[in-house]
């Protein structure tokens, strides 16, 4: 079998890593006028919040997690999962990436409308 | 003659057991390292060093069993309810990709196979997350995981490469 050489592999890997980094920057900088936050638990929509209409901050309890809703941003305040990564993900204001609690299966996403190309699956 | 055959089998089994133990210990210890980035699924993946090394040094079948043992026992010792599914999907994708691409990498290029394994591990976990969470904004996480896989895959691949090199020199007179 033909063995690939390092002369090919090293540039290839560096290129791939660079492309990924660029992609991350482009996605993060994507600021569109999306203001509705959707909260999913176990793949199902449980809450829908219009962030631009929020006057005072409040919290929503989703299973073992507590979601903090503020003017134009949303974040995870408390979580019953062991790693607490969802809290460290901080606030999101646009749809570039969601806040995800994997063990409790909670997803907070800011977007225009529900679903679109990705159908919500599961029960 | 029969004694020799049985002795070889015993040595084979013992080697597999030692590798499986190493993989298990590495997996458990790694689970205690606090996450460095707030993205679920970004970790060093050190247990893959053992799988990769076993693939070259022991054989594909043995490497598969070592992987299964590490996934099952490792998740019994450290996991929550969700982590087992993610471990299985990640581990199996990683193994399949490594197995298929193994003929293309040898000697000084094994580190790249480590990256491939890490990439497919993350891909398997993304697919699992798709089915469990409903696929919202996956592209961002896919890119972050791809980048992380490049970095961690290089590290684990280099570890495995070094191990394979020295193992072959010591035990196979290569």
B108 reaches A (C-beta below 8 A): yes
Tell me which H or E stretch contains B130. helix B110-133
B41 contact A CB<8A: yes
Cβ–Cβ below 8 Å for B82 and A9? no
Q: Least CB-CB distance to A105: which of B38, B83, B132?
A: B132
Q: Whole-angstrom Cα distance, residue A112 to residue B24? A: 45
Residue A88: Cβ-neighbour burial (10 angstroms; 0-12, 13-18, 19+): middle
* DSSP result, B5-54: HHHHHHHHHHHHHHHHHHHHHHHHHHHTSPPSSSSTT----THHHHHHHH
B64-76, pLDDT tens digit by residue?
999 999 999 999 9
The conformation of residue A80, written as its DSSP 8-state character, comes to -
Query: Which of A6, A17, A119 comes nearest B109 by C-beta?
Result: A6
Q: Which residues of A touch B35 (CB under 8 A)?
A: 83, 85, 88
How far off is chain A from B121, nearest CA to CA, in Å? 16
Contact assignment for B134 to A118 by CB distance below 8 Å: yes
All residues of chain B having their beta carbon less than 8 Å from the beta carbon of residue A105 are 82, 132-133
Q: Is B127 on the interface with A (CB under 8 A)?
A: no
Chains A and B form CB pairs within 8 A to the count of 112
Contact at CB, A9 and B112, closer than 8 angstroms: yes
- The answer to whether residue B164 scores a pLDDT higher than 50 is yes
pLDDT, tens only, B10-55:
888 999 999 999 999 999 999 888 888 878 778 888 999 999 999 9
Do A24 and B135 lie within an 8 Å CB cutoff?
no
Taking the CA of residue B64 and the nearest CA in chain A, the distance in Å comes to 22
Average pLDDT score over residue span A62-86:
80
Taking CB atoms and an 8 Å limit, are B109 and A121 in contact across chains?
Answer: no
Per-residue pLDDT band for B171 (boundaries 50, 70, 90) equals: confident
Please state the pTM of the whole predicted model.
Answer: 0.83
CB nearest A6 (choices: B38, B108, B115): B108
Identify whether the C-beta of residue A93 lies closer than 8 Å to the C-beta of residue A108: no
How far, in Å, CA of B136 to CA of B140, rounded?
10
Which of A95, A20, A6 is CA-nearest to residue B122? Answer: A20
Cβ atoms within 10 Å, residue B151: 13
The beta-carbon neighbor of B137 closest among A3, A90, A98 is A98
Q: Note the pLDDT tens digit of each residue in A31-56.
A: 666 678 888 887 778 878 777 777 77
ipTM of the complex: 0.81
Question: pLDDT at position A33, please?
Answer: 62
């Amino acid at each position: 079998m033909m063995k690939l050489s390092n002369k090919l592999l090293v540039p290839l890997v560096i290129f791939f890593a660079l492309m990924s980094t660029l992609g991350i920057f482009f996605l993060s900088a994507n600021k569109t006028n999306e203001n509705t936050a959707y909260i999913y638990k176990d793949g199902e929509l449980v809450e829908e919040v219009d962030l631009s209409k929020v006057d005072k901050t409040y919290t929503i309890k989703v299973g073992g997690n507590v979601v903090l809703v503020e003017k134009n941003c949303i974040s995870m305040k408390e979580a019953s999962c062991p790693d607490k990564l969802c809290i460290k993900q901080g606030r999101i204001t646009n749809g570039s990436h969601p806040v995800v609690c994997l063990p409790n299966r909670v997803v907070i996403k800011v977007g225009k409308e529900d679903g679109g190309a990705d159908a919500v699956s599961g029960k | 003659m029969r004694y020799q055959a049985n002795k070889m089998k015993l040595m084979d089994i013992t080697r597999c057991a030692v590798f499986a133990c190493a993989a298990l210990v590495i997996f458990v210890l790694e689970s205690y390292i606090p996450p460095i980035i707030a993205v679920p699924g970004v970790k060093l993946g050190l247990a893959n060093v053992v799988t990769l090394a076993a693939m070259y040094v022991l054989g594909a079948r043995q490497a598969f069993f070592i992987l299964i043992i590490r996934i099952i026992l490792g998740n019994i010792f450290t996991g929550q309810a969700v982590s087992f599914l993610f471990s299985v999907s990640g581990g199996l994708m990683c193994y399949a990709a490594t197995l298929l691409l193994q003929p293309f990498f040898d000697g000084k290029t094994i580190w790249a196979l480590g990256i491939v394994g890490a990439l497919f591990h993350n891909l398997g976990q993304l697919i699992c997350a798709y089915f469990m969470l409903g696929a919202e904004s996956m592209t961002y996480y896919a890119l972050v995981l791809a980048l992380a896989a490049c970095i961690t895959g290089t590290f684990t691949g280099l570890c495995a490469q070094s191990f394979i090199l020295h193992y072959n020199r010591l035990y196979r007179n290569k």
